[in-house]
Structure 1
Amino acid sequence: MALLESKDRELKVSVSKSFLKTVSAYANYRTGSIIFGMADDGTIVGLPDVDKDCLRVEHMVHDFIDPRPRYAIEVDSRSGTMTLTVFEGPDKPYLYEGKAYIRNDSSTTKADPLELKRLVLAGKHMSFDQLPADNQKMEFGSLKQRLHDRLGVDRFDRNTLRTLGLTDADGQLVNAAALLSDSNPFPGIDIMRFGESTSEILERARIGGCSVLDQLDRTIGIAERNYTFEKVTATTRERSERLPLDALRETLANAIAHRAWDVPATITVAMHPDRVVVTSPGSLPSGIEREAYLAGGLSVPRNPTLATVMFRLGYIELFGSGVPRIREAYPEGELPPRFDVLDASIRVTLP
């Protein structure tokens, strides 16, 4: 079976400067290979002088990629092909002629300004929630109350914020603190409750301007009002759910903890009679594949400071356990939840 181009494989008939864009992309985002002497359809055409081209590739990577990435070259003298494997590196962004590149399926494109900012942060081993917040005057009544109720913390001061990682080395409040503050400036949660069709809107709520923890609790409150009912018999009164609210709570908590907060978009919650659909901005973080995400047990938190605070407060469990816990909330034999990893968002459908 012929090799074809993919996200982690590029095929080149000959050596030209265009391959350097893909070197940048692989060093920035994920390890991949470039095979020289092979056509786009996988046909081996060979290089006229594979040893000479090997030296050319080495010199071009050294001369044009900054900083220099880690790579390996394997030459097949019989077929006249050469495989350049470029390893994802820690010193991002890796630039070709001053520009960073990203690999999309089987094509390589220039990283947009937002992606470049993310690469710069990754190179500093930082995340968006660890950057200094724009506003340094914040109140934390909601967080203070939850620390008291859930962890028995009676004293709340600057030392508490530092212990939670909500200040940086200079004592500045970070974005994670802003998200947990009473006047959180970031986009909130947009809720729409539909009738039998999406053209029939029964209720609309936009929750924002408050701690993400309050946003979570208020959203669950709306769901409880619409998806719970009581079964009454002659001797008992039982509360029942039309969908597992534990699954919704876990979905919302994970959406808040792991969404892309550098994107000015809300988390959307679409409530239908037979399902709830939660869509959070941002696809999977760099370093985690769809299969690993769905399997659970592996997590690269996009917002480690926020996620750690939510973990301490009991809103989320161990990193990487969200998807399994959502699935476990559904009894065997019932329609399972659905997880869609899209280019710019993650969508969870809860029947």
Structure 2
Amino acid sequence: MCDVERLISTGENEEIEFKENFDFNGIVETAVAFANKRGGVILVGVRNNGTVVGVQTGRETLRDWANRISQNTDPPIIPELEVEDINGKKVLCIKIDEYPIKPVMFRGRAYMRVGSSNKRLNAREIAELYYRSIRHSWDYITISAGLEEINSEAVREFVEVAKNRGRLNVLEGEDLETILEKLELVRDGKPTRALILLFGNDPQKYFPHALVRIAKFRGSEIEDEITIDGNLFNQVEEALKFIRKHINIRFKIGEKAQREELWDYPPEALREAVINAIAHRDYAEPDEIQIKIFNDRIIFWNPGGLPFELKIEDLYRPHPSRPRNKLIAKVFYYFGYIEKWGSGIERILRALREYNLPEPKFEEVFGGFQVTFYKDIYTEEHLRELGLNDRQIRAVLYVKEKGSITNKEYQELCKVSRITATRDLSELVEKGILMRVGRGKRGIKYVIQMMQK
């Protein structure tokens, strides 16, 4: 609850502002000033002297003001709005959280709360504000919750695993609160957002959009779906469990007559994709992580694009680590979810290569980051189901291994004439299995369509 009466009795200060009516410019300017400082509350329907005059509000009013504040601030502020009745008069309470990466702008201008007024910042002050802010991340901010909200057993399990991995040193007899303070998950006796998400009994109480939604599709129809809540460790494990339920596994006899499991996708790549989505999503965005499982691909989408220092093409080569949520990433590293800083994408690429699968597709779409894994549907069994003859099956398996095949190579591989090779290859192109690339008699070759980036 906003506790309007208490706030009014406190009076306007660095964290409280009174507005008699819906003054658009004044409200958004103050919202920006609060976001650039420590956050604050705007009470609409209260005069400067603390007299409650009330305002007319409704469901549409709240939605409209939340949208107007978000749409007119850069980066967008997501306010919390609620209405409280004071002696029969309605007061709108607009709660603004401190924004982790500053400055927040309104119409190209930045403001900072100083005392009970808003100060417009100059270029030097904006630069200073930015450099101060990048020491921390969104998950570093504390929230108004008690440590009783934390699952102490989950914390103990984490500490034990991290100690056994040699990544966390804990003194004998050290209590949990001290350990959490050393990990920066507790500051001034208050839990950080990271602590609530990682070990909270009910993280969605504070962050309702911190969810993972997964669906298995058959064509365009949803065959099975699940929404996963709880702490982030639970989300990782339950997401992987659901994915494994809906992908195929086969077995082969490997070296030393040992049976080897072969999934549609390498488990290591699936694990990295899920962990990356959960660790690096933008939790300030009111969207859920979405994972879509199709017969020929899996799509992972999380809110929030790449850090501005990185481009899509950088992901296909070694690149520095730029965690959006530094505390969450650090805890995942201690726990063993992250093996080495900045290595997650590299591990995905390597695992897919070892499975002879196409490279994943990385995209910034729909306001977020998306990764698509493509399934190897070109097994001998599946190719036979498509009606291919033995020569064509042998050629497709050859292309999977070598990357391409020419007409001449087809003739030599299958011991056939050029006319037969041309006919077989043309059928493979018509079926959408192979693609003809290059020019000229000697420059033409055939590749598997799904292997094209």
TM-score tier (shorter): 0.5 to 0.7
Cα distance between partner residues in 2 of 1:320 and 1:264:
26
SS across alignment from 1:292: helix
Superposition pairs for residues 176-325 of structure 1, below 5 Å? 176-181=194-199, 182-185=201-204, 186=207, 187-195=210-218, 197-199=219-221, 201-208=222-229, 210-231=230-251, 237-325=259-347
Equivalent positions of 1:135-146 (< 5 A) are: 135-136=145-146, 137-140=148-151, 141-146=153-158
Q: Which amino acid in 2 is paired with 1:334?
A: L
Name the amino acid aligned to 2:223.
L
Give 1:157's aligned residue. 176
The structure carrying a bigger helix percent of its residues is 2
Q: Distance in 2 between matches of 1:161 and 1:317?
A: 21
Return the match for 1:124 from 123, 126, 133: 133
Please, which runs of 5 or more residues in structure 2 have no aligned partner? 1-100, 111-127, 165-169, 375-453
Does 1:99 find its partner at 2:109? yes
- Structure possessing the higher relative contact order (Cα contacts under 8 Å, 6 or more residues apart): 1
Given that 1:279 and 1:346 are in contact with CA atoms closer than 8 Å, whether structure 2 keeps it comes out as yes
> Is the CA contact 2:162–2:334 (under 8 Å) kept in the aligned structure 1?
no
CA distance in 2, matches of 1:211, 1:121: 31
Alpha-carbon distance in 2 for matches of 1:204, 1:124: 39
Asked if structure 2 preserves the Cα contact closer than 8 Å seen for 1:150 and 1:313, the reply is yes
1:283–1:120 CA distance, 2 compared to 1 (3 A) = farther
Structure 1 portions without partners, runs of 5+: 1-90, 101-118
Distance 2:312 2:273 in 1: 17
Once residues 129 and 287 of structure 2 are traced to their aligned partners in structure 1, the CA distance between those partners, rounded to angstroms, is: 22
Contact 1:288/1:299 (<8 A) preserved: no
Larger Rg: 2
**Residue identity opposite 1:138 in structure 2:** E
Deviations 1:100-133 (A, max 9, x none): 5xxxxxxxxxxxxxxxxxx977643331100112
CA–CA distance in structure 1, aligned partners of residues 344 and 359 of structure 2: 15
Q: Cα deviation per residue 1:210-269 (whole Å; 9 max; x = unaligned)?
A: 110111011111122222424378x86542201112101101111111110111211111
What is the CA RMSD across the aligned residues, in angstroms? 2.9
User: Given the alignment, which residue of 335, 338, 348 partners 2:361?
Assistant: 338
Distance in 2 between residues matched to 1:180 and 1:149, nearest whole Å: 15
Q: 2:192 aligns with which of 174, 178, 196?
A: 174
Superposition deviation, residue 348 in structure 1: 0.4
In 2, the alpha carbon distance for the partners of 1:214 and 1:147 equals 16
CA change 1:134–1:261 in 2 (3 A) is farther
Counting matched residue pairs gives 239
Equivalence for 1:60 = none
- Change over 3 Å in CA distance of 1:288–1:120 after alignment to 2: farther
Stretch deviating more after TM superposition (120-129 or 298-307) = 120-129
Say whether the 8 Å CA contact 1:281–1:346 is kept in structure 2.
yes
Identity %: 27
Letter in 2 for 1:327: L
Give the structure 2 partner of residue 85 of structure 1: none
TM-score between both structures, scaled by the size of structure 2? 0.48
Compute the TM-score of the two structures, normalised by the length of structure 1.
0.61
Amino acid paired to 1:165 = E
Q: What is the deviation of 1:144?
A: 2.4
